[in-house]
């Protein structure tokens, strides 16, 4: 009940602060979306304060070409280890889930390496998705001599270059960013100073998110453009220096394509030459087939915050969580999936506010 | 036209999600199995899609139910497929308000299955029967080639007797909703165990025959509806009961009984405990003025100690959760079996 | 991205620790921490501790409560 | 010591032969499932290993039975798994002397199974229910990954009502043995079809619900025992009835009703029609002085036209065939599922 | 060895014939016969006709019956 | 009833003819054994006329090495086509039934060749067992251009060389042979003239077998040693000349090992050089591993007629139809299997004769 009081207090402040303005906030973290949705935060916010989801779900931004590659490896008899999130993401023809291969869901890359160690006769490939938070775990495992039958398909991406590219498009009508707390735990807050927009780093408990939103609305309304930290217990200015050292020991920055986006400069990670022996693509001679993404899918615009899922002609028709066309419909944190599942809850916001 | 379109939208092939206990399973059942016209022997039949059927016999009802059990692993913390197969059917009978009398066991075994495992399952079946106070009276055994089937399947059907069957569609506005114990224990324990996650402490399935708990609730009076939150979990069952009863259910997040370790594991696995199976719990609708008495009676039983009132019934439709921070959202039935996620 | 959970280190052996997740324990890897110590509270993501957090309380409601209480008062006064 | 040795001789793993309906299945059941102590709800229970169980209810009996259906192909000449699943359970109820009332359907479907096939099965289920005059009142649906299961499995349990259950152990010396129709039709048709042998003419399964035939026999009076010769065929059922009744059965080879085309296909396949399944037949023991009356009553029914007396019951043990040339040999229960041979 | 069944040729197309096995017909191969003709009775082993038999009666009981009847008489007279 | 009268008549004659003598007849055909057993012929014969089974079941005489070879091919992913009879025959480690491969039961080698034609992407191997009756069907298929993905493991054997070897051992106490009707349909009767023992060619209907036995007992008692034909409708003196021509076009005679026997000279068939491309062993580089047959198994002596199954210490204990040690326990026409299954019927013979 105390939590409820505090949340309502924050919501009231937000409403007062934002009165008369149209505010659109982008977060770039699937887990923020999850919290927002699961605790009904949108139902607490006034109509004129909108929260949209940016390119913050690693599953959503993994292009079909990379899915096709891991499916190809599965079909060639490699043991594929992956996080459960990626299981249903569709490639051109199939998802891992629908492929014929030997697919293991792991909770950690270190389970995948252990599996390879315990099964020296099998070839084990780990599908390494994730942003700054996850990439260091890949580095840590590669730095501790995994066995020869282990390799990774590196699909790591970096958040700030994507935000930069996004803002350069001009085409995104955004008032400010709620920054991803766990990404910043590794990368620190400094890097985000380059963006001259209101930004607040937030945690993931419902009240932490409410608190971050409150700080961000306040900053927007007050006309400031800084990086504020509402998650100071975990996020240091410099981030996790050891993790960053390990990252740069194993990886170097590269240009990379994002699903829904073109190639974004310096937004990806690739293995340095001395670790290339763990590169599954090189090891098994797989080339990523760039190619047309599915026609009609607006993932692109949705991730940029200029379209809503309901603007997509395929939404709920050709594209459903059961037969997703774009990745935004795949992840439980994908914008389309969330609108499909909880869409009606948006209505209940207003019902709630109108009837009370 | 609306309806025709819905039927045509049915996919061409059955997919896993059709078996996950959610909306898709409903659509498979209503799109395919509902075509059976010989679906009723005089009482509550197949068309009701309740926990079982009820057939008038003299001035009582014979309740009949069936379930296939396909769980993996077959031995898991807190139970095994043997205990599950008996509990599942005893509980479906109980959900119809019926005292379980006699069960059947239809076993399909893959070639190469260890006889010792079979013995262990049979022991567990017997212990659970003993606990539930009923008998396994007839069975069938088939063996399939190892290429055709990879793990044992047990079907258990059963009959029970009641004067007065309880439906899953009997909720009325004003009723209270009771859950007879902690939520998500079975599903979270199974997923954690199955995925090979190493948890130091013991997450345990709640699999148990809960007729005695249900009997206590019925004796206390005022029960309007019951359903056991197995596949699809509490999220699925609340939606089904609300839909069939033509009412809205409002649940308070903070009242939901979830074990600390289940919550922790669920957080780690990225899975919602409301969306996973329970195998020793009931969701019970009760008239408001009997709610406390029923709750008290349930709490006195072995498997009802953690029972709580989690919400209430209103006019309207859907299942709404009032969240801890005062927000609200729909509780939707899960689409498929939950998969662990990291982001 | 990215699901992370709070846990307390109970036992450390090289780059692996047994961590308590609130009733559950699991082994996690410590590779990414400079100097982990038993009793430290850490954020765990995909089986790795990614940061030591200042105090247990830091991540709990208490701090937010206090801050927000202050804000509420401030605002009400404003 | 004898018994212990027998138990120890049980192999470590289940093999296909344990499911083939012969002696090995008996040994699996008696070595493993017989350990269940909660096996009886007051009448005929699991220990009897009869076609079903019978539970006293008022002055009648509820008969309960279950069967898993795992046939391949699922659509075959003369029927399909849907018709089979209903007929199998109706017939087991009938074998206990019970009028079939209500059935359950527990379906396990492999991922990727065509919805249209499912619809076709459901239509067939419904038609067979119509014919049998009973209802399918409750069900369960599970879906397994394509790696875990390769074809649909249907469990059907059912209840029936009788004043007076018929056992499979009631044969008395002097009784006559009636078979209600031609032998081996189902098994030979399935094997021929499954192995892809091209037969110009149509071998057809006899799968049918035969309650009305059985009812006619019961009404004529004098029936002492019944069993349906499914897995393991007439060879297996005769042995089981003789063993359980503590009698010897003597059968005359020349009286066995075997269709000309079944005989021809069986010869070509090197398979004995006595050792394959029938799915629309009963083996009935009758008091000698009622035998002709019962036979006549059976022959008036749709599925009883080819009924004959194939032998008689004597003191002793075993099943003896008096061959066409006046030799004699034991009819032994088959060890495993028959496989076509060429030499 | 070796299971062989009697059948009658109903239709011949090259080295394949439709054969009647007493209510059942099946295609069989004729490669091993010199001059198969429709209505011939043949012995079929593993899908091949291995020999034309003199007459249908030849393989039926009739001939044996006669022979044996003769033997029986002969013996009885002996 | 007429059949029964005739059979009893023949049995009576046999009893009278054999009175005071011990007569032991060997047949060399599994199908004879099947008829004898299924129609209870032994129950009609007097105690002093015994009928034993010789090396006439192709499955029984196929050595482990050949089973091991076909199992190896199955495990290498070849599609194996076989007659159902061979399915459960144990090799050193496994039978085809217990192997992991793709095994098809066929009724004819021509089905196997058709399968290969319809599945050009699969490698199809047919296990060609059988005596003179079956070998011509293999020849016929190889003479009609089967596709390149089709080959055969040739396991054909000839009856007369085995009988010859058997008689040369001296160790078989036999009064005469019931010759295999269908083998003789192909090979004719002439060849058997080389054996100076009583022989009668018999058909397979119960009365035909009884008739053949009667003729043989008569010949034995009368002290003749000729080849008589009790199956004249199908067996010509010269046999099937066309089939024999095809045989010699495709095959040449070779020495070969029989299960339970050593290598018997000129008792096997191998492909002539121009058909070697269809030789599965050569095609896939498999060598037959000769080696010790299972210890304790008396198949050897049983096939030679000097021991009965019950003389074997393994009989019914380590060796049962479910877990056969020797091939005689595998085939439904194997002597051990028949004794195991119908053994009691032997007793019923005497019961029958004593109580009537
Ligand atoms: S609804 Fe589907 S197709 Fe449309 S934008 Fe979303 S993911 Fe893409
Ligand atoms: S019983 Fe078995 S081991 Fe003994 S001789 Fe027969 S097959 Fe060989
Ligand atoms: Mg239920
Ligand atoms: Mg049920
Ligand atoms: Mg259930
Ligand atoms: Mg059964
Ligand atoms: Mg209910
Ligand atoms: Mg039965
Ligand atoms: Mg049954
Ligand atoms: Mg049955
Ligand atoms: Mg169910
Ligand atoms: Mg019965």
SS (H, E, C) B65-89: EEEEECCCCCEECCEEHHHHHHHHH
Residue F313 CA: nearest ligand 2 atom is 4
In the predicted model, what is the mean pLDDT of chain E? 80
Instruction: Check whether the bond before E2 is cis (ω within 30° of 0).
Output: yes
Instruction: Name D327's Cβ contacts closer than 8 Å, sequence gap at least 6.
Output: F7, F39, F40, F41, F42, F43, F44, F206
Check if A217 contacts C (Cβ < 8 Å): no
Q: Is the pLDDT of residue D2 over 50?
A: no
Structural domain of C31: 5-77
User: Could you say which of B10, B38, B106 has the minimum Cβ distance to residue D129?
Assistant: B38
CA of D51 to the centre of ligand 9 (A): 5
Q: Which residue's CA is the nearest one to ligand 2's atom 7?
A: F326
Return d(Cα A139, Cα A148) in angstroms, integer: 16
Distance B333 CA to ligand 11 centre (A): 16
CB of F69 closer than 8 Å to CB of F288? yes
What pLDDT is stored for residue B331 in this prediction? 92
Given the candidates 1.10.260.40, 3.20.20.70, 3.90.320.10, 3.40.50.11740, the CATH classification of the domain at A59-158+239-284 is: 3.40.50.11740
For the beta carbon of residue A167, count every other beta carbon within 10 angstroms. 15
Between F351 and B210, residue with greater pLDDT: B210
Question: Average pLDDT in the B309-337 region?
Answer: 92
Distance (Å, whole) CA F251 – CA A61: 66
Q: Which residues pair with E25 in a beta bridge?
A: E20
pLDDT of residue D1: 25
F328, F333, F334, F339, best to mutate for ligand 2 pocket (most atoms within 8 Å of CB): F328
* Residue for token pair 């041979």: D341
Min CA distance, C23 vs chain B (Å)? 5
| Closest C-alpha to F67, from F315, F286, F321 | F286
pTM of the model: 0.89
Atom from ligand 1 closest to the CA of residue A326: 7
Contact D162, D54 (CB under 8 A): yes
pLDDT tens column, D125-175? 999 999 999 999 999 999 998 889 999 999 999 999 999 999 999 999 999
Task: List the single range of B155-164, B170-179, B244-253, F303-312 with lowest mean pLDDT.
Answer: F303-312
- For residue B201, the model assigns a pLDDT of 61
pLDDT at residue C66 in the model: 66
Residue closest to D177 by CA, chosen among D269, D94, D250, D83: D250
Q: Which pLDDT value is given to residue E60?
A: 54
DSSP symbol at D151: S
3-state secondary structure of C76: helix
Higher pLDDT, A37 or A122: A122
The mean predicted confidence, pLDDT, of chain D is 92
Domains within chain D, CATH numbers bracketed: 1-35 (no CATH), 40-162 (3.30.1330.10), 175-330 (3.90.650.10)
CA F310 to chain centre: 21
Tally the domains of chain E: 1
Interface subset of D 232-291, CB within 8 angstroms of B: none
Please give the distance of CA D183 from its chain centroid, rounded to a whole number.
Answer: 12
How far is Cα F102 from Cα B125, in angstroms, rounded to an integer? 37
Could you tell me which of B171, B151, B294, B283 has the C-alpha nearest to residue B222? Answer: B294
**Closest listed ligand to the CA of B226:** 7
Q: What is the 3-class SS of chain F, one letter each residue? A: CHHHHHHHHHHHHHHHHHCCCCEEEEECCHHHHHHHHHCCHHHHCCCCEEEEECCCCHHHHCCHHHHHHHHHHHHCCCEEEECHHHCCCCCCCCCCCCCCCEEEECCCHHHHHHHHHHCCCCCEEEEEEECCCCHHHHHHHHCCCCCCCEEEEEEEECHHHHHHHHHHHCCCCCCEEEEEHHHHHHHCCHHHHHCCCCEEEECCCHHHHHHHHHHHHHHHHCCCCCEEECCCCCCCCCCCHHHHHHHHHHEEEEEEECCCCCEEEEEEEEECHHHHHHEHHHHCCCCCCCCCCCCCCCHHHHHHCCCCHHHCCCECCCEECCECCCHHHCCCCCHHHHHHHHHHHHHHHHHHHHHC
Indicate contact of C with E: 3+ CB pairs under 8 A: no
Closest partner residue to A344 (CB to CB) among B269, B270, B330 is B330
Q: Which CATH superfamily is domain A1-57+164-229 in?
A: HypD, alpha/beta domain 1 (3.40.50.11750)
The stretch A19-24 carries a mean pLDDT of 94
State in Å: Cα B24 to ligand 11 middle.
14
pLDDT digit string (tens) for B42-100?
A: 999 999 999 999 999 989 999 999 999 999 999 999 999 999 999 999 999 999 999 99
Q: Which atom of ligand 2 is nearest to the CA of F336?
A: 6
Rounded to the nearest 10 degrees, the angle between the axes of helix A206-221 and helix A30-38 is 110
pLDDT at A353: 37
What are the tens digits of pLDDT across the range A255-279?
Answer: 998 886 778 999 999 999 999 999 9
Closest CA to D187 of D202, D204, D200: D204
pLDDT given for residue B4 in this prediction? 29
In sign, the C-alpha dihedral spanning C39, C44, C47, C51 is negative
Tell me the average pLDDT of chain A: 87
Distance from CA of D67 to the nearest CA of B (A): 5
CA atoms of A68 and A66, how far apart (whole Å): 5
> What are the residues whose beta carbons fall under 8 Å from the beta carbon of D70, sequence distance 6 or more?
B108, B142, B144, D151, D153
| Residues A334/A336/A342/A348 CA torsion (nearest 10 deg) | 120
Confidence of residue C78 (pLDDT cuts 50, 70, 90): very low
Q: At B109, list the tokens.
A: 């075994």
Can you list the positions of beta strands (E) in chain D?
53-57, 60-69, 75-76, 79-80, 99-110, 135-144, 153-162, 176-179, 223-227, 248-252, 283-286, 308-314, 318-322, 328-330
Quick check: helix, strand or coil at residue A164? helix
Rg (CA), chain C: 16
Whole-number percent of chain C with pLDDT over 70:
67
Q: What is the pLDDT of residue A350?
A: 32
pLDDT in the model for residue C61: 53
Q: Position of tokens 């992370």? A: C4
* Residue C63 burial by Cβ neighbours in a 10 Å radius (0-12, 13-18, 19+): middle
SS3 A319: strand
Order of strands across the sheet with F49-53? F49-53, F23-27, F176-180, F199-202, F227-229
ipTM computed for the complex:
0.87
Tokens read off for F119: 């599945």
| Residue A322 token pair | 């059961």
Element (H or E) spanning B313, and its range? strand B308-314
CA–CA separation, B335 and F145 (whole Å):
56
E60: CB partners within 8 A, 6+ apart: none
Instruction: Give the domain CATH number at E62.
Output: 2.30.30.140
Q: Does the pLDDT of residue B314 top 90, yes or no?
A: yes
Write out chain F's pLDDT in tens, 356 residues: 588 988 999 999 999 999 999 999 999 888 898 899 889 999 999 999 999 888 888 887 888 899 999 999 999 999 999 998 888 887 887 888 878 788 999 989 999 999 999 999 999 999 999 999 999 999 999 999 999 999 999 999 999 999 998 888 766 678 999 999 999 999 999 999 999 999 999 999 999 999 999 999 999 999 999 999 999 889 999 999 999 999 999 999 999 988 867 789 999 999 999 999 999 999 999 999 875 555 788 877 887 777 888 899 999 888 887 777 777 787 666 778 878 876 644 444 333 333 33
| C residues 48..77 contacting A (CB < 8 A) | 48, 50-51, 53-55, 58-59, 61, 63-65, 67-69, 71-72, 75
The model's confidence at residue A170, banded by pLDDT at 50, 70 and 90, is: low
Rounded CA-CA distance F71/F94 in Å is 7
With a cut of 50, say whether residue C18 has pLDDT above it.
yes
**Helices and strands (H and E) in chain B: how many:** 9, 14
- Whether the predicted pLDDT of E74 surpasses 60: no
- pLDDT band at C60; cut points 50, 70, 90: low
Inter-chain touch C5–B264, beta carbons under 8 Å? yes
D168 CA distance to ligand 12 centroid (A)? 4
Measured between its terminal Cα atoms, the distance across chain D in Å is 41
Residue E19 banded pLDDT, cuts 50, 70, 90:
very high
Residues 6+ apart with CB under 8 A from C10: C17, C18, C19, C20, C25, C38
Q: What is the pLDDT of residues D275-318, one digit of tens each?
A: 999 999 999 999 999 999 999 999 999 999 999 999 999 999 99
Ligand 1 interacting residues, C-beta cut-off 6 A? A 297-299, 302, 309, 312, 314-315, 319, 325-326, 328-329, 336
Question: Residues spanned by CATH 3.40.50.11740 within chain A?
Answer: 59-158+239-284
Among A294-303, B128-137, D59-68, D253-262, the range scoring the smallest mean pLDDT is: A294-303
List CB contacts (< 8 A) between E54 and chain F.
Answer: 232-233
| Whether the Cβ atoms of residue D299 and residue D305 lie closer than 8 Å to each other | yes
What angle in degrees, to the nearest 10, is found between the helix axes of F2-18 and F206-221? 20
Which neighbouring-strand residues pair with A179? A201
B135: its two tokens: 């008998």
The pLDDT of residue B216 is above 90: yes
Q: What is the DSSP secondary structure assignment for residue B121, as one 8-state letter?
A: H
When pLDDT is cut at 50, 70 and 90, the band that residue B7 belongs to is very low
Nearest CA to D60 out of B301, F172, B57, B102 is that of B57
**Beta-bridge partners for B53:** B64
Bridge partners for B226 per DSSP: B284
Q: Give the model's pLDDT for residue A335.
A: 78
**All partners of chain F with 3 or more CB pairs under 8 angstroms:** D, E
Structural contact between residues F151 and F126, judged by C-beta atoms closer than 8 angstroms = yes
- Is the confidence at residue B192, as pLDDT, over 90? no
């Amino acid at each position: 009940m105390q939590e409820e009081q505090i949340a309502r207090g924050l919501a009231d402040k937000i409403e007062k602060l934002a009165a008369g303005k149209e505010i659109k906030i982008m977060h770039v973290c699937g887990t923020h979306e999850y919290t927002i949705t699961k605790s009904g935060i949108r139902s607490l916010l006034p109509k004129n304060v909108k929260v949209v989801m940016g390119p913050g779900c690693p599953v959503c931004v993994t292009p079909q070409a990379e899915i096709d590659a891991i499916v190809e490896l599965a079909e060639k008899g490699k043991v594929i280890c992956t996080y459960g999130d990626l299981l249903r993401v569709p490639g051109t023809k199939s998802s891992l889930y629908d492929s014929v291969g030997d697919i293991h869901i792991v909770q950690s890359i270190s389970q995948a390496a252990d599996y390879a160690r315990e099964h020296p006769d099998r070839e084990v490939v780990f599908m390494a998705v994730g942003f700054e938070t996850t990439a260091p775990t890949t580095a840590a495992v590669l730095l501790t001599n995994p066995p020869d039958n282990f390799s990774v398909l590196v699909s790591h991406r970096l958040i700030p270059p994507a935000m930069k590219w996004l803002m350069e498009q001009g085409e995104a009508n955004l008032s400010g960013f709620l920054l991803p707390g766990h990404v910043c735990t590794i990368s620190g807050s400094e890097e985000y100073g380059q963006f001259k927009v209101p930004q607040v780093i937030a945690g993931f408990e419902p009240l932490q998110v409410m608190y971050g939103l409150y700080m961000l609305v306040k900053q927007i309304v007050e006309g400031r453009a800084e990086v504020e930290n509402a998650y100071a217990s975990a996020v240091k200015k410099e981030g996790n220096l050891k993790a960053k050292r390990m990252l740069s020991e194993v990886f170097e920055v590269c240009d990379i394509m994002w699903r829904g986006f073109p190639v974004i400069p310096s937004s990806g990670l690739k293995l340095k030459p001395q670790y290339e022996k763990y590169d599954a693509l090189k090891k098994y001679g797989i080339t990523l087939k760039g190619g047309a993404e599915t026609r009609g899918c607006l993932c692109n615009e949705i991730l940029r915050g200029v379209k809503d899922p309901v603007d997509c002609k395929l939404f709920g028709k050709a594209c459903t969580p059961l037969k997703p066309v774009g990745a935004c419909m795949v992840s439980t944190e994908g914008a389309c999936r969330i609108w499909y599942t909880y869409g009606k809850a948006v209505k209940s916001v207003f019902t709630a506010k109108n009837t009370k | 036209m609306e309806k025709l379109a819905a039927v045509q939208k049915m996919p061409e092939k059955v997919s896993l999600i059709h078996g996950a206990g959610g909306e898709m399973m409903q659509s498979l059942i209503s799109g395919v199995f509902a075509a059976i016209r010989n679906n009723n022997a005089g009482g509550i039949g197949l068309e009701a899609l309740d926990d079982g059927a009820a057939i008038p016999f003299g001035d009582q009802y014979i309740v009949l139910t069936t379930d296939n059990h396909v769980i993996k692993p077959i031995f898991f913390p807190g139970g095994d497929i043997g205990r599950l197969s008996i509990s599942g059917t005893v509980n479906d009978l109980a959900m119809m308000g019926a005292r379980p009398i006699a069960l059947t066991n239809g076993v399909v075994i893959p070639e190469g299955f260890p006889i010792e495992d079979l013995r262990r399952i049979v022991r567990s079946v017997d212990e659970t029967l003993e606990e539930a106070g009923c008998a396994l009276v007839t069975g069938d055994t088939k063996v399939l080639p190892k290429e055709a089937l990879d793990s044992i399947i047990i079907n258990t059907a059963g009959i029970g007797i009641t004067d007065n069957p309880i439906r899953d569609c009997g909720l009325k506005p004003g009723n209270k909703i009771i859950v007879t114990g902690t939520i998500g224990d079975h599903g979270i324990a199974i997923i954690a165990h199955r995925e090979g996650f190493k948890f130091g402490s013991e997450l345990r399935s709640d699999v148990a025959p809960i007729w005695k708990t249900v009997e206590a609730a019925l004796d206390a009076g005022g029960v309007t509806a019951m359903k056991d939150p197995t596949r699809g979990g509490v999220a699925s069952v609340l939606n089904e009961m609300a839909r069939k009863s033509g009412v809205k259910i409002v649940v308070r997040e903070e009242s939901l009984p979830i074990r600390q370790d289940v919550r922790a594991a669920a957080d780690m696995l990225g899975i919602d405990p409301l969306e996973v199976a329970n195998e020793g719990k009931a969701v019970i609708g009760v008239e408001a003025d009997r709610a406390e008495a029923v709750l008290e009676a349930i709490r006195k039983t072995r498997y009802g100690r953690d029972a709580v009132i989690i919400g209430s019934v209103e006019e309207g439709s859907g299942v709404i959760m009032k969240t801890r921070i005062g927000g609200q959202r729909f509780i939707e039935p899960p689409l498929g079996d939950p998969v662990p996620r990291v982001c | 991205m990215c699901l992370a959970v709070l846990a307390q280190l109970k036992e450390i052996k090289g780059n692996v620790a047994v961590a308590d997740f609130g009733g559950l324990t699991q082994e996690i890897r410590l590779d990414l921490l400079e100097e982990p110590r038993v009793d430290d509270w850490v954020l765990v993501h995909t089986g790795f501790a990614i940061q030591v957090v200042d105090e247990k309380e830091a991540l709990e409601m208490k701090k937010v409560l206090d801050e927000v209480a202050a804000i509420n008062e401030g605002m009400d006064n404003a």
